[in-house]
Homo-oligomer: A and B are copies of this chain.
Amino acid sequence: MLRPLTAQERDWVENTLESMSLRERIGQTMQGHAGRAPFRGIEGAELTAYLQRYPVGSFFVGGEIIQKAEGRAGDYRSWIEGLQRASRCPLLFSGDLEFGAGSAVRSLTAFPPLLALGAVDDEALAYEYGRFTALEGRAAGFTWALAPGVDLLLNWLNPVITTRCLGDDAARAARLSAAVMRGMQEHGLAACAKHFPGDGVDYRDQHIVTTVNDLSEQEWFATYGLVAGRLIDQGVLSYMTGHIALPWVEETSSGGKPVPATVSLKITTELLRERLGFEGVVLSDALDMGGFLSWGDYRKRMIDCFNSGTDVLLWPGLRYFEVMEAAIAEGEVTEERLTASVRRVLEMKARLGMHRIDAEGRDPEAILLEDDKLPPELDREARGLSRQLAERCVTLVRNRSGQLPLDAEATRRVLVIMLNKVTAGRTFERMDIFVRLLRERGIQVDILDEFEPLDTLRKWEQEGSRWDAAFAPYFMPLHGMMNSSRPVGEAAKAIWAMQQAETIKPIGISFATPYLLQDMPFLDTLVNAYSLHEDTVEAAVQAIFGEIPFQGISPVATELPRVFIKGKAGGLS
Contact = CB atoms under 8 A, between A and B. Distances in A.
Interface stretch (A48-56, A176-184, A290-298, A439-447): A290-298
Contact of A212 (B201, B562, B566): B562
A560 B569 CA distance: 10
Interface stretch (A274-282, A463-471, A493-501): A493-501
A409 to B, nearest CB: 28
Interface string A499-524: 11010000000000000000111100
In the complex, the count of this chain's copies comes to 2
A294 B214 CA distance: 37
Main secondary structure of the interface of A (DSSP, over half): loop
Contacts of A565: 155-157, 203, 563, 565
Nearest to A555: B569
Interface stretch (A349-357, A478-486, A526-534): A478-486
A212 to B, nearest CB: 6
Interface in A540-573: 556-557, 560-572
A370 to B, nearest CB: 38
A241 to B, nearest CB: 19
Contacts of A572: 154, 215, 219, 222-223
Nearest to A170: B570
A289 interface: yes
Nearest to A200: B567
Contact of A483 (B156, B201, B289, B488): B488
Interface in A281-313: 288-290, 293-294, 297-298
Question: What are the nearest 10 A-B pairs in CB distance?
Answer: A425-B425, A483-B492, A290-B496, A168-B569, A293-B499, A423-B426, A154-B567, A294-B522, A214-B564, A222-B571
Interface of A: 152-157, 167-170, 201-205, 207-210, 212, 214-215, 219, 222-223, 257-258, 288-290, 293-294, 297-298, 422-426, 454-455, 480-484, 486-489, 491-493, 495-496, 499-500, 502, 519-522, 556-557, 560-572
27 contacts: A154-B569, A155-B567, A156-B565, A157-B565, A168-B569, A204-B519, A205-B492, A208-B493, A209-B519, A209-B520, A214-B564, A219-B571, A223-B570, A290-B499, A297-B502, A422-B422, A423-B423, A423-B425, A426-B426, A481-B493, A483-B487, A483-B491, A483-B492, A556-B567, A557-B568, A557-B569, A561-B568
Given A208-B495, A223-B571, A481-B496, 7 more contacts: A154-B566, A154-B569, A154-B572, A168-B568, A201-B564, A214-B562, A293-B500
